[in-house]
């Protein structure tokens, strides 16, 4: 199965992320490109709702069907929607290319119909000691988002 997300925001931040997964039990492959970001790290998460009626704010909290604390993508205990950070260069561009074993396009951990959000600041991966570290990674406001939708398969 394949999915795609086109992210936009109020400013210049935008991006396209593609998702592909062979079967419900295989890892989810995520590839994306972004531009218009401020240089540095930006938190990158799937949020609970595919609602953009009030911009990126109406996407809700991080997608967390397991009711765990926020963490790094590599952590065994984390929100399903936690994807860590993307890093924008001095030109405002960033890319990502990785696989994830917790997030899926199938079943109860499916991200189809949910919002992918890029944040203004760095995600502390739940390790920063800030009051928001274990819920949001203290990654700041939402600069771009888009709804993840089913894409045409090859």
- Catalytic machinery residues: 45, 47, 62, 70, 79, 82, 119, 142
- In the DSSP assignment, the letter for residue 62 is B
Residue 11, phi then psi, degrees to nearest 5: -100, -145
Q: Please say whether the dihedral angle defined by the alpha carbons of residues 15, 103, 46 and 75, taken in this order, is positive or negative.
A: negative
Q: How far apart are CA 61 and CA 135, in angstroms?
A: 8
Q: Angle CA(66)–CA(50)–CA(35) in degrees, nearest 5?
A: 105
120 strand-pairing partners: none
Q: How far apart are CA 5 and CA 116, in angstroms?
A: 7
Judge whether 73 and 83 are in contact, CB under 8 Å: yes
């Amino acid at each position: 199965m394949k999915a795609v997300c086109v992210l936009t925001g109020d400013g210049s931040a935008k991006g396209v992320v593609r998702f592909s997964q062979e079967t419900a039990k295989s890892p989810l492959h995520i590839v994306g490109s972004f531009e218009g970001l401020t240089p540095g790290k930006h938190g990158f998460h799937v949020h609970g709702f595919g609602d953009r009626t009030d911009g990126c704010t109406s996407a809700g909290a991080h997608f967390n069907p397991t009711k765990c604390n926020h963490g790094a993508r590599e952590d065994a205990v984390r929100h399903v929607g936690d994807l860590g950070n993307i890093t924008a260069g001095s030109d405002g561009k960033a890319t990502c290319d990785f696989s994830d074993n917790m997030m899926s396009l199938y079943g109860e951990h499916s991200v189809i119909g949910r919002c992918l959000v890029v944040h203004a600041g760095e995600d502390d991966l739940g390790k920063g000691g800030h009051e928001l570290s274990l819920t949001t990674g203290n990654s700041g406001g939402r600069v771009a988002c888009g709804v993840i939708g089913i894409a045409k398969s090859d």
